[in-house]
Amino acid sequence: METLNPPQRKAVLDWLVPKKLLYLPIIAITTGTTGWYLARDDSFLHLSSPVFPWVVAAGVVIVILSVIGLGFLTPNDWRVYKEIQRAHPDPDRIFRLTRFNRQAAAILGLLQVVIIIIMVHLAMAPASPFP
């Protein structure tokens, strides 16, 4: 993005931001809900289950991912979108907002690796003795 001239950046952001504002929150909510029902169906939610601590860890990571994504990134994306729609957008403000997005996305990427590790552990867990 930094190598693009301002009209090209505006075109990319005009195309990308509305999709992110709709798609990413829907995916975040859907995957967390799906994980909960899958854990319930696999009987991982019993306190005496040997993988229950991993389920709790997954829940904590999902909550953190949701708070960062829905509480920080989505409103920030909205600010970027509103700024680029102005008659005279402030390039410094857009740069600051998108820099924050990159930093938050790096944290989200790290947490996504953590959740993948947790999911792999849960997928390889032995069958639960609970019905």
Please list the pLDDT of the chain residue by residue as tens digits (131 residues). Answer: 678 887 787 788 778 878 877 887 888 888 888 988 988 888 888 888 888 999 999 999 999 998 998 899 889 888 988 888 888 888 889 889 889 988 998 999 999 999 999 989 888 877 666 66
CA 22 to chain centre: 13
**One-letter identity of residue 56:** V
Could you tell me if residue 1 is inside a domain? no
Could you tell me if residue 130 is inside a domain? no
DSSP class of residue 70? I
pLDDT on residue 55: 92
What are the residue ranges of helices labelled H in 49-90? 52-68, 74-85
What's the CA gap between 80 and 101, in Å, rounded?
10
Could you tell me if residue 131 is inside a domain? no
User: Structural domain of residue 51, as residue ranges?
Assistant: 6-123
Could you tell me if residue 19 is inside a domain? yes
> Among candidates 93, 103, 95, which has minimal Cα distance to 2?
95
Could you tell me if residue 129 is inside a domain? no
Number of domains in the chain: 1
pLDDT on residue 117: 94
What's the CA gap between 90 and 92, in Å, rounded?
6
What's the CA gap between 27 and 45, in Å, rounded?
23
8, exposed or middle or buried, with CB in 10 Å at 0-12, 13-18, 19+?
exposed
**One-letter identity of residue 71:** G
